[in-house]
Structure 1
Amino acid sequence: MTQTKKKEQPYTSKLRGVAALLESTTSEEVIATKAAELIPIDRVHQSNSQPRRYFDPIKQEQLEASVNQHGILEPLLVRPIELEQYEIVAGERRFLAAKAIGLSKVPVVVKQLTDVEAMQIALIENLQRAELNPLEETEGILQLLSIETELSKDELVLLLYKMQNEAKGKVTQNVLGSPVSEKVIELFESLGKLSWESFVSSRLPLLKLPPEILTVLEQGKIEYTKAKTIGRVKDKTFRKQLIEEAIASSLSLSQIRARINDFQPKSQQEAIFYRLDSAYKRVKKSKKLLLSNPKKQKKLDSLLTQIENLISE
């Protein structure tokens, strides 16, 4: 019998999600776990470690309409946390939809799970069913690593950068090959999503992005490659303008880079006049909005008077 190579498996071993969990049990356990039961919705609680934090409002409304018409077709996977109280492991969107339309009971499959197992399933279930945005995925993987290694998030980030520097030969090796680094590498191989090297180079930098970029990234309004590029811009005003333009005009990565290159000022004076020119273009685009808002129109008139007085002086 030909053995499937690890690289050919999209998700390996115990990290393949809810289906893998149910399929890995004995026949008696399958009967017990697959038999869904209806329980009051107020006994079901969301998990603090849920990797998915942003839910697209349009998709959520569509799900609510579906649940309202057809009911919940697939039960939630939950685990007991105290007497007759349960925590959601998989199915949070269905749970929120049920609450929104006022269902009093929801179908659940109850399974005894450790913190590690629950986090693994929640992360992989989200990766398979509805892709996490890159920021959520990064935070989720770090959570999973934290549980597995018993290291804090900051300690993990430091460890991963040390591993990267050692792998590149920049520093003497003393972390790679250690039990904790082997755990990290093994978990990434089990996830089958991306390598630990790729995670360090492409995902960890997202955690250092300015707040306004993190917000639109978390909302799925911009790709992480574009977010990283805009994040390198030091001028806050230009950075904010570029984010807005990139989203509104669906700028490509090359277009974003071109605008950044055009912005590079040779002096502080040039930077000021670039901002003035950019602001003028935005005012022209927002003409109707400004004219329909008396307060904004009055403020704009005042600012123009100040500029005219400045020029006169």
Structure 2
Amino acid sequence: MSSGTTAAGNAESPKRRALGKGLESLLPLRPRPAEATPPAVEAAEPVETGRPREIAVGLIERNPFQTRTRFDEQQLDELAASIAATGVVQPILVRPLGGDRFQLIAGERRWLASQKAGKTTIPAMIRAVSDEQAMEMTIVENLQRTDLNPMEQARAFERLTREFKMTQEQMAQRTGKNRASISNFLRLLRLPVEIQGRVEAGELSFGHARALLAIEDPAMLIKAAQKVGALSMSVRQTETFVQGLLYPELKAKDEEKNKAEAVDPNVREAQERLQRALGLKVRIHDKQGRGQVVIEYARLEDFDALLEAIAG
């Protein structure tokens, strides 16, 4: 699928930017004048350079665009111990707020751990960026670390849509994720709050949640999620379970048909692979290499997702 137009004021390459290029690819450095390493920033107006500067931790404010909502306290304590022993290895990223204040863009764990370690200053790179750029850089930095839970990612993409009017194509360009993945993350926000909490807590995976989304009735969905958790179903088992709930008559027919005729193992494997890939019920009727592939969908959204997956 071709990528969409980028957000206003940000020229983009027509090729999707890969996550591995890092934050610097989002905001190239300005040419810096030749000068000695600057002293720690305390109350002076910052000058954007390519070198980290020591900034007092008390002058830095939390990032309001932070997409991560949970920090593991044990890991934070371990990082604090490391910083106390060897210092901060990778500078944080901040932007000036005016006067002597700064706002975090990336590196909140390092900032919090530095305070736990009793550090009074922290090395930081200063960038003069807009709210949109700061939020974009925060999301990309977190996605690069791959430790956001699915609900945190869903809310991050929703915030880009709500606050900055970005299309899914534009978000795909900025984050390196494909449009179909972003669409699937955003669909998670349709889950009941109770189920969202279970996904956020790691009790249900992204695959489980995606399979459960086929159920439109909230009460049925909650009961199904409870059964999936109670039986520790795999994603594949959840998909089969959901299809059975939605199409009980087809399930009964399939069971009768399976009893009546043996299915070739190769055909069954291909059928199951297609069902896992598409998230929809698939039946293959094969007779000596000729036959039909039947894909069933219950909603227009499922059809759109199928069209996207096949046609691109």
Q: How far has the Cα of 1:257 moved from its partner?
A: 4.1
Answer yes or no: is 1:113 the counterpart of 2:129.
yes
SS at match of 1:142: helix
> Structure 1 residues 219, 237: closer, same or farther in 2, change over 3 A?
closer
Aligned to 2:31: 26
Aligned to 1:75: 91
SS at match of 1:51: coil
Task: Please tell me whether the aligned partners of residues 76 and 113 of structure 2 are also in contact (alpha carbons under 8 angstroms).
Answer: yes
SS at match of 2:219: coil
Sequence identity (%): 26
Q: How far has the Cα of 1:127 moved from its partner?
A: 1.2
Greater helix proportion? 1
Q: How far has the Cα of 1:230 moved from its partner?
A: 4.0
CA RMSD of aligned residues (A): 3.5
Task: Please tell me whether the aligned partners of residues 32 and 49 of structure 2 are also in contact (alpha carbons under 8 angstroms).
Answer: no
Alignment map for 1:136-151 (pairs within 5 Å): 136-149=152-165
Task: Please tell me whether the aligned partners of residues 46 and 92 of structure 1 are also in contact (alpha carbons under 8 angstroms).
Answer: yes
Q: Which shows bigger deviation, 213-222 or 41-50?
A: 213-222
Task: Please tell me whether the aligned partners of residues 199 and 209 of structure 2 are also in contact (alpha carbons under 8 angstroms).
Answer: yes
* 1:79-128 superposed Cα distances (whole Å, 9 cap, x missing partner): 11232111100101111222233333222222211111111111111111
Counterpart of 1:192 (choices 176, 192, 210) is 176
Q: How far has the Cα of 1:236 moved from its partner?
A: 7.3
| Distance (Å, rounded) in 2 between the aligned partners of 1:47 and 1:118 | 9
Counterpart of 1:47 (choices 45, 51, 63) is 63
Q: Which shows bigger deviation, 41-50 or 95-104?
A: 95-104
Q: How far has the Cα of 1:185 moved from its partner?
A: 2.6
Q: Compute the TM-score of the two structures, normalised by the length of structure 1.
A: 0.59
Aligned to 1:104: 120
State how many pairs are aligned: 222
> Structure 1 residues 92, 220: closer, same or farther in 2, change over 3 A?
farther
* Alignment gaps of 5+ in structure 1: 150-155, 157-182, 267-313
In the alignment, residue 193 of structure 1 is paired with which amino acid? K
Task: Please tell me whether the aligned partners of residues 56 and 219 of structure 1 are also in contact (alpha carbons under 8 angstroms).
Answer: no
Q: Compute the TM-score of the two structures, normalised by the length of structure 2.
A: 0.59
> Structure 1 residues 108, 55: closer, same or farther in 2, change over 3 A?
same
Aligned to 1:278: none
Task: Please tell me whether the aligned partners of residues 54 and 219 of structure 1 are also in contact (alpha carbons under 8 angstroms).
Answer: no
* Alignment gaps of 5+ in structure 2: 1-12, 38-47, 249-312
| Distance (Å, rounded) in 2 between the aligned partners of 1:56 and 1:239 | 30
Q: Which shows bigger deviation, 49-58 or 80-89?
A: 49-58
Q: Which shows bigger deviation, 237-246 or 202-211?
A: 237-246
